[in-house]
Amino acid sequence: MPEYTVVGQPIPKRDAVEKATGRAQYIQDINLPGMLYGKILYSKYPHARIVHIDTTRAQKLQGVRAILTGKDIPEIKLGVYQDNRPLKTDKVRSYRDEVAAVAATDPDIAREALSLIEVSYEALPCVFDPEAAMHAEAPLVHVKHRTNILKMPWKLHFGDVDAAQATAAHVIKERFSTTWVTHCCLSTSGAIAEFDHANNLTIYTNTQIPSLAQKDFLNALTAMGLKNRRVRVIKPVIGGGFGSKLDTYAYEHIAILLAFKTRKPVKLVFDREEEFIATSTRQPALIDISQGCDRDGKLVFRDVAMILDNGAYTSWGATTPSVMMMPITTLYQVPNVRYEATCVYTNNTYSQAMRGYGNPQATFAIESAMDLLAETAGIDPVTFRHINANKPNQVSPQGFRITTCGLKECIDAVTEQLAWGRPKATGEGVGIASLIHVGGGARVYKSDGCGTIIKLDDYGGANVFTGASDMGQGADTVIAQIVAEELALPIEDVRVIHTDTDVCPWDVGAHASRTTFVAGNSALGAARKLKQQILELASNHLEAPPEILALQNRQVICREDPGQRIPIDKLLRKAHFSVGGTMLTAEHFYDPANENLDREFKGNLSMTYTFGAHGVRVRVDQETGKVEILNYVAAHDVGRAINPLLLKGQVYGGVMMGIGYALTEQVVLDKGQTMNPNFRDYKILTAKDTVPIQAPVLETHDPYGPFGAKGIGEPGCVPSAPAIANAVYDAVGVRIKDLPLTPEKVLAALKLKKKHTPPH
């Protein structure tokens, strides 16, 4: 007998039918009357002074309605460091810098107009290596900062690392590096901006942060001299997010500026090449890590220093250290931890949020280092992890209050399903890596909240207005399930609306795998209030106190006398259609009781943490260096699987993204220029690259999650790279410390090993 009716069921995604029939409207599919098309002209140099821009020939092209350059627009500051502008004025600092923009009556004309804009540049010396950019003599990317090193606070030290290092029995020290990869959303980026007669803005845009985007656009309007205007953000159906929509972009602001100039709606949609070149990437990292343990294998310290290539402008990439701290201080029990991250400007592309937000990079280094340390200490890597695994109800040095924790069980599930101890053929190896991720929100902003409003109609149907965002991951469905469960309604009677800031309450955004937890709790809170209202209404009608009434299958029943019952819809109509009638609505703004990190980065960032372990069995072809994955087990402690079907979808998708990160994906930048801006040369995995994946789900029933659930959106891609790197080492004895693990790197390492191995 299942515990719940709807929660825990593999309910199909609520909008799957529209998507399966071609009815879903993505940004590309929206057309407004009188709409113009915007296109952006990008820089021809990685670093140059803009000497002159001549738009006269472009202006004369029939169909061109507006051309904007940096001089034509007010100062709108973009990015977390406010160092970016929608259109550049004096300098370009990377190939993706926006130099001019055109609005025309059709996209081909807009494109042609771009080719008629003449820009003269004076090339400046460039810097593409972050370590080189740190030197005093390096060319300055932002002259007014007088240094390429960003003023960022990423420095923490808990305990005494130096003392611990001095007394540790075993110490390892290594450098690891990760490079740029990109989201590859199947829908390219785009926005449509439109002003009304009173200069209020409506913008249709692919965003994961509708409320914060609204704020950014209000700031833009203020800069444009439009104070006290309204901004309405409408989300079309979004064709993929993965963190790419976690910031507002230059192109959105350009669409707004063009719409304001032309007084017409302006649609700006990227083509695929533009998507590769001009959207942000995952933050690359140079990671120096040192770890030590005592004679019994207990970790005594972890010391990490990172250099992050910040690219030309600052977006969320420079804040990934705030999340990297999580695995650094809290993955496994480590009493003494030190971490410092330096972000450096270069003339490369800039990074922002991508699934995992720094966790995959940090975990690659940490979990590879765990295996190295285990080997040095002479301890089996699985045993080593068990010795140091986090346990429930602990507090980490960073102040993270771990509630539920199924890490040990996940490690066991992996070793069991992978048949860890089974004899291996030549070239075969197994590897494991664990993960921790925030699972109950993440207080990275002043608010980590989400609001929900639920209204009931005359037929017992519920409309749920949520601030949450769905990009395909299933927020719409999970929220519907939670409300349906609480109100004992069939899922078909619950409609979730999340698309419009004029209608939906505030939410900080779909990030940090927080939607099920935070938006779920918010919806649950509103549903509980509504339930109370229904029971009170019914109490009058059934002449029984609310305490002995219950909701069951669209009815209110009396627990003690089930014959006493009334259908909810009848109850609602009775209440509505009478003198002095009422209709029921409830709202709940849930802001979890987590904490902002203090100046020393201490604090309980999340209400709960998701744990997991990935294990992989590989076969390395020692003549070609190719790594073949024979089996992949991804075990996660999710608290409760509200929807096992969609949850698995997140895990499988995350794992394939993680495997791509580990083995094949990389944005190739050559002196700042993207050399592979297409699906042919950017090696995203295809259906023929799938591997057997098992995804055991462990339920630890978190006390704070809705029905016990924790987040799962990101964990699926976090430990894939180290699990694979560890397996390759187990298979053929070579340690690859630089992602991706290409055949060339593996083969070169094998040859080097052979050279240095004395013959028997």
Partner 1 sequence: MSKEITFQLNHNDLTLAVQEHWTLLHLLREELGLLGTKEGCGSGECGACTVIIDGMAINACLYLAAEADGKEILTIEGLAAPDGTLNPLQQSFITNGGIQCGFCSPGMLLAAKALLDENPNPSEDEIKHALAGNICRCTGYVQIIDSIKAACAPKNEDVKVVAWQTKP
Partner 2 sequence: MKKFRHLTPQTLDEAISLHESYRDRARYIAGGTDVLIKIKTGQVAPDYLISLKHILGQDRPLFNQETGELFIGAFVTHRRIEQSATVRRRYPILHDAVKNIGSVQIRNVATIGGNLVNAVPSADGAIPLIVLDAVAKIYGPKGLRSIELLHFFQGPGQTVLEGSEILTEIVIPALQPRTGSAYIKFGRRNAMELPLLGVGVLISLEDDHVTCAKARIGLGVAAPTPIRAHEAERFLTGQAVTSDTLAAAGRIAAEESRVRDSIRGVAWFRRDMVNVLVKRMGHKCLERIEQKE
Q: Give the Cα separation of 677 and 668 in Å (integer).
A: 9
242 binds partner 1 (CB under 8 A): yes
* Residue number with CB closer to partner 2 (63 or 743): 743
Task: By CB under 8 A, name the one of 438, 571, 641, 721 that touches partner 1.
Answer: 641
* Residue number with CB closer to partner 1 (335 or 653): 653
DSSP-based three-state secondary structure for 106 = coil
Q: Residue 39 Cβ, how far from partner 2 at the closest point, in Å?
A: 15
Task: By CB under 8 A, name the one of 360, 429, 474, 715 that touches partner 1.
Answer: 474
* Residue number with CB closer to partner 1 (342 or 513): 513
Residue 478 binding partner per list partner 1, partner 2, none, with a CB distance cut-off of 5 to 8 Å that depends on partner kind: none
Residue 117 binding partner per list partner 2, partner 1, none, with a CB distance cut-off of 5 to 8 Å that depends on partner kind: none
The mark string for 261-300 relative to partner 1 (x by CB under 8 A, - otherwise) is ----------xx----------------------------
Residue tagged 């070609």 (tokens): 624
CA distances from 375 to 171, 508, 700, 721 (A): 11, 43, 32, 19
552 by Cβ neighbours in 10 Å (0-12 / 13-18 / 19+) ranks as middle
Residue 655 binding partner per list partner 2, partner 1, none, with a CB distance cut-off of 5 to 8 Å that depends on partner kind: partner 1
DSSP-based three-state secondary structure for 205 = strand
Provide the b/e sequence for 688-725 (b: ≥16 CB within 10 Å).
Answer: eeebebebbbbbbebebbbbbbbbbbbbbbbbbbbbbb
User: For residues 7 and 480, is the Cβ–Cβ distance under 8 A?
Assistant: no
* Residue number with CB closer to partner 1 (28 or 582): 28
Residues 400-439 contacting partner 1, CB under 8 A: 409, 413
What is the DSSP annotation of 4-28?
-SSTTS-PPPTTHHHHHTT---BGG
Count of CB atoms within 10 A of residue 137's CB? 5
Residue 10 binding partner per list partner 1, partner 2, none, with a CB distance cut-off of 5 to 8 Å that depends on partner kind: partner 1
User: For residues 534 and 549, is the Cβ–Cβ distance under 8 A?
Assistant: no
354 binds partner 1 (CB under 8 A): no
223 binds partner 1 (CB under 8 A): no
680 binds partner 1 (CB under 8 A): yes
Q: Please tell me what DSSP assigns to residue 72.
A: G
Whose CA is closest to 4, among 481, 467, 477? 481
646 binds partner 1 (CB under 8 A): yes
Q: Give the Cα separation of 694 and 593 in Å (integer).
A: 34
- The binding site for partner 2 (CB under 8 A) comprises 108, 623-624, 663-664, 668, 670, 675-676, 679-681, 683, 685-689, 742-744, 747
* Residue number with CB closer to partner 1 (21 or 393): 21
Which region among 68-76, 122-130, 213-221, 689-697 touches partner 1 (by CB under 8 A)? 689-697
Give residues with Cβ within 8 angstroms of 449, minimum separation 6: 506, 507, 508, 518, 522, 589, 590, 591, 592
Residue 292 binding partner per list partner 1, partner 2, none, with a CB distance cut-off of 5 to 8 Å that depends on partner kind: none
701 binds partner 1 (CB under 8 A): no
Residue 670 binding partner per list partner 1, partner 2, none, with a CB distance cut-off of 5 to 8 Å that depends on partner kind: partner 2
CA 550 to chain centre: 39
Q: Please tell me what DSSP assigns to residue 642.
A: S
What is the DSSP annotation of 484-545?
HHHHT--GGGEEEE-SBTTTS--B--S-TT-IIIIIHHHHHHHHHHHHHHHHHHHHHHHTS-
Residue 243 binding partner per list partner 2, partner 1, none, with a CB distance cut-off of 5 to 8 Å that depends on partner kind: none
Alpha-helical runs (H) found in 76-202: 107-116, 130-133, 161-167
* Residue number with CB closer to partner 1 (476 or 730): 476
Which region among 137-145, 345-353, 539-547, 678-686 touches partner 1 (by CB under 8 A)? 678-686
User: For residues 481 and 7, is the Cβ–Cβ distance under 8 A?
Assistant: yes
* Residue number with CB closer to partner 1 (149 or 685): 685
696 binds partner 1 (CB under 8 A): yes
Residues 9-48 contacting partner 1, CB under 8 A: 10, 12-13, 15-26, 28-29
Geometric angle at alpha carbon 104, from 101 and 106, rounded to 5°: 125
Applying CB under 8 A, the site for partner 1 has a residue count of 63
Residues lying near partner 1 in the complex (CB under 8 A)? 10, 12-13, 15-26, 28-29, 183-188, 237-242, 271-272, 409, 413, 471-474, 641, 644-646, 648-649, 652-657, 678-680, 684, 686-688, 690, 693, 695-699
